[in-house]
Structure formats: structure tokens, C-alpha cells
């Protein structure tokens, strides 16, 4: 009875032949494992970068397994049957991971670091930053495979990696909500305004990148000068303060000597007065 119930639940999640239920479960296991491996790699790289450069290029990471409805819709759109074989072969983004960065330069740095991983194979790259979509969408997409090591075999598993800035992600999230609100047929003026917002986002990203590079350049060139200037000022202040202290000490010594001399003179006069019988 429980076995039948499990098959029904699975059938509700993703319509397919009952005989493929176990295969689909195995596929999900692989996709989940692949996401965990990519996540681990990114965390290690981010921590290393933070330690070496006191800066972490990754703001945050999200990952997901594509919903059964979206998988079925994608296969139908490409006129393919809903089978496990077709899902694995033709749906490249069943497992997806999104990396959010501060600056556009971080996007290409992370993409390069991931490409250099010896066990990651890059199958396809779409640079929507250099060539944005018509609606204004910008992001950097990579389809990669990573080996998942099971007890009896190793399986190369596909993962889609999306890398974008905070501003790009903000725009994409809003556009996605509007897209579904109007079922893909948003009024023309809204689409136009979204495109204008995308242009503003691109301008903002460029300005923030320029500002960040100027700050970094300023820091490298000027920190040494600032340290020299501060040290010189500090030494001058210390020298001036030390000189003032010395002058005060010399003045105190002079006053003390003068007082002692006066006391000695008074003692001599007193002795003379006593000698002649004066009080």
C-alpha cells in the first residue's frame, strides 16, 4: 500500500511512467549532490579571497532544483517526451546555483576561478552582460558538469551557474514577477520602462565599479604617503612636546637654583647679623 502511495505522490510531482520513479529519484540525488559540491567550492574560494585580500567578492549564494512543472514545460516547448533520459540530456538547468556579487569585475573573476577548477568542465557560456537580452536582462550564465562520486560509479552531472550583481538581481527579480503577473504579455509601456530601468542598472553598476577601482587605487598609492605624513607629524609633535618639557624642566631648575642661592645668601646675612649681635 505504501509503495503504491509513494508512486502516486511521485506521479503528482512529475508525470512519468511508474517504471521511471526510481530513476528520477536517482537523478534528484545526483543534482542535489552536484549543487552541494559547487557550493562548497564557492565557499572555499570566497574564504580564501577574504583571507588573502580582506575582501569577499560573493555577497550571497542561492541554489535550487527546478520545479517539476518547469521541467515538463521546457520539454514540451522543445517538443520532447517527458522521460528521465530527455530531462538529463536536454534540460541543462535542472540544478541551478545563483551567485550574487558586488561588482561586475567580481563576476568575471569568479567565472574564471570556477573554470580553472580541474574537475569542472564548462559546456556552454552565455554572457548577457556584454550582450544583454532584448528585454534588458543581464547576467553571466555557465553550464558546467561536475563529477559526483557514488559508491559504485562516478557521474558527470550538469549544473547551471548564474552570476550577477546585486543591482542585476534586483532588476531580474522584479521583471520575473511582472512577467508572471501578465503571463508573459506585459503592456508595451511597462516593458519599455523595464528596459529603461535595466539601462539605469547598467549605469549604476559601471559607476560603482569605477568608484571601487578609484578607492582601491587611491588606497594603494596614498596609504604609504599618508603613513609617511602621519609619522612625520607625529615625530614633530613629539619633538615639540619634548622640547616644551625640557624648557619647563630647565626653567624649573633655574628657579630652584635661584631659590637655593637666595636661601644661602639669607643664611649668610643671618649669620653676620648674629655675629654682630643683631636679631
User: Is there a single domain that holds both residue 180 and residue 217?
Assistant: no
Domain count, the chain: 2
- 267 and 136 part of one domain: no
Instruction: Tell me, yes or no, whether 219 and 170 share the same domain.
Output: no
Model's pTM, two decimal places?
0.72
164 plus 129 within the same structural domain: yes
Q: 118 and 198 in one domain? A: no
What pLDDT score does 202 carry?
93
Domain boundary among 186, 220, 237: 186
Q: Are residues 32 and 166 in the same domain?
A: yes
Which residue, 186, 212, 230, sits at the end of a domain? 186
233/178 same-domain check: no
202 and 132 share a domain?
no
Distances, alpha carbon 35 to alpha carbons 110, 203, 216, 227, in Å: 16, 32, 34, 46
Q: Which residues, 6 or more positions from 191, have their beta carbon under 8 angstroms from its beta carbon?
A: 135
Q: What confidence score (pLDDT) does residue 8 get? A: 34
Is residue 10 located within the same domain as residue 61?
Answer: yes
Instruction: Give the CATH number, domain containing residue 116.
Output: 3.30.460.10
Residue numbers of the domain that contains 272: 189-279
52 lies in the same domain as 167:
yes
**E strand residue ranges, 150-271:** 154-165
For 239, other C-beta atoms within 10 Å of its C-beta total 10
Q: Is the pLDDT of residue 54 over 80?
A: no
User: Does residue 200 share a domain with residue 174?
Assistant: no
Last residue in a domain, options 186, 204, 235: 186
- Report the C-alpha gap between 59 and 49 in whole angstroms: 13
Burial class of residue 122 (count of CB atoms within 10 Å of its CB; 0-12, 13-18, 19+): middle
Q: Which residue has the higher pLDDT, 132 or 183?
A: 132
Q: What is the pLDDT of residues 132-175, one digit of tens each?
A: 999 999 999 999 999 999 999 999 999 999 999 999 999 999 88
Q: Which helix (H) or strand (E) holds 183?
A: none
In angstroms, the CA 96 to CA 59 distance is: 17
CA distance 65 to 85: 17
Residue-level pLDDT at 236:
61
pLDDT surpasses 90 at 41:
yes
Q: Measure the CA angle with vertex 173, ends 168 and 179; round to 5°.
A: 120
Q: What digits encode the pLDDT tens for the residues 12-26?
A: 455 555 457 788 888
Same domain, 164 and 225: no
What is the reported pLDDT for 69? 86
Amino acid at each position: 500500500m505504501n509503495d503504491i502511495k509513494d508512486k502516486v505522490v511521485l506521479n503528482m510531482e512529475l508525470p512519468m511512467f511508474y517504471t521511471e520513479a526510481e530513476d528520477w529519484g536517482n537523478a534528484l540525488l545526483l543534482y542535489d549532490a552536484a549543487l552541494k559540491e559547487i557550493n562548497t567550492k564557492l565557499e572555499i574560494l570566497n574564504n580564501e579571497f577574504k583571507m588573502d585580500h580582506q575582501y569577499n567578492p560573493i555577497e550571497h549564494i542561492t541554489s535550487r532544483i527546478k520545479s517539476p512543472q518547469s521541467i515538463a514545460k521546457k520539454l514540451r516547448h522543445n517538443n520532447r517526451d517527458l522521460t528521465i533520459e530527455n530531462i538529463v540530456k536536454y534540460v541543462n538547468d535542472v540544478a541551478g546555483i545563483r551567485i550574487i556579487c558586488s561588482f561586475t569585475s567580481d563576476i568575471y573573476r569568479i567565472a574564471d576561478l570556477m573554470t580553472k577548477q580541474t574537475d569542472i568542465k564548462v559546456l556552454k557560456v552565455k554572457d548577457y552582460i556584454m550582450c544583454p537580452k532584448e528585454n534588458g536582462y543581464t547576467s553571466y550564465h555557465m553550464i558546467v558538469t561536475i563529477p559526483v562520486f557514488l559508491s559504485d560509479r562516478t557521474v558527470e552531472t550538469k549544473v547551471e551557474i548564474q552570476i550577477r550583481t546585486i543591482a542585476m538581481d534586483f532588476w531580474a527579480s522584479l521583471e520575473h514577477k511582472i512577467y508572471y503577473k501578465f503571463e508573459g504579455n506585459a503592456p508595451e509601456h511597462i516593458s519599455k520602462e523595464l528596459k529603461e530601468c535595466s539601462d539605469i542598472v547598467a549605469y549604476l553598476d559601471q559607476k560603482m565599479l569605477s568608484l571601487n577601482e578609484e578607492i582601491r587605487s587611491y588606497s594603494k598609492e596614498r596609504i604609504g604617503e599618508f603613513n609617511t605624513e602621519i609619522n612625520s607629524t607625529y615625530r614633530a609633535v613629539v619633538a615639540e612636546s619634548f622640547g616644551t618639557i625640557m624648557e619647563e624642566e630647565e626653567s624649573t631648575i633655574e628657579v630652584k637654583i635661584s631659590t637655593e642661592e637666595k636661601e644661602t645668601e639669607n643664611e649668610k646675612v643671618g649669620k653676620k647679623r648674629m655675629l654682630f649681635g643683631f636679631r
